[in-house]
Amino acid sequence: MAPGFTATIPLLQRPPATPTIASEFLAFGNKRSTDVSSGGSSVFEPNQRVKVNLSGLTIKGVAFSQNVQEALGTIVQRVAVEPPTYLIELLFSFKGVKRVEVPEDRIRRA
């Protein structure tokens, strides 16, 4: 280099942080937040249409066969926090049973 000439070296800059899928999911209202003690939301909301797996359960004296894996219903309300349980109104009555309490792991969005 020539005397009196100073070279500027560009500083290396880190690219802006790109959010991960997990942080984006949390930032936009993760529906799986189930911390009810702090006022968090539950997975399912009242009046939401769902499919319920009733196979192998006995509810109000009615034994559901292995074929009843996708009974259509509507969430009425959450009835328990641990384990998360919901009251579901079924679209069809099974031997007079129209409303059932079902654990969250047996419910899917329709």
CATH number at residue 55: 2.30.30.30
Q: What domain range includes position 93?
A: 43-109
**75 Cβ partners below 8 Å, 6+ apart?**
44, 45, 46, 47, 48, 50, 86, 87, 88, 107
Top-confidence residue, 16 or 33: 16
Domain count, the chain: 1
Q: pTM here?
A: 0.62
If one compares 38 and 91, the residue with the highest pLDDT of the two is: 91
Any domain includes 92: yes
Residue 70 clears pLDDT 70, i.e. is over it:
yes
In whole angstroms, how far apart are CA 31 and each of 35, 39, 45? 11, 13, 10
- Is residue 21 domain-resident? no
User: Distances from the Cα of 36 to the Cαs of 8, 33, 93, in angstroms?
Assistant: 56, 8, 31
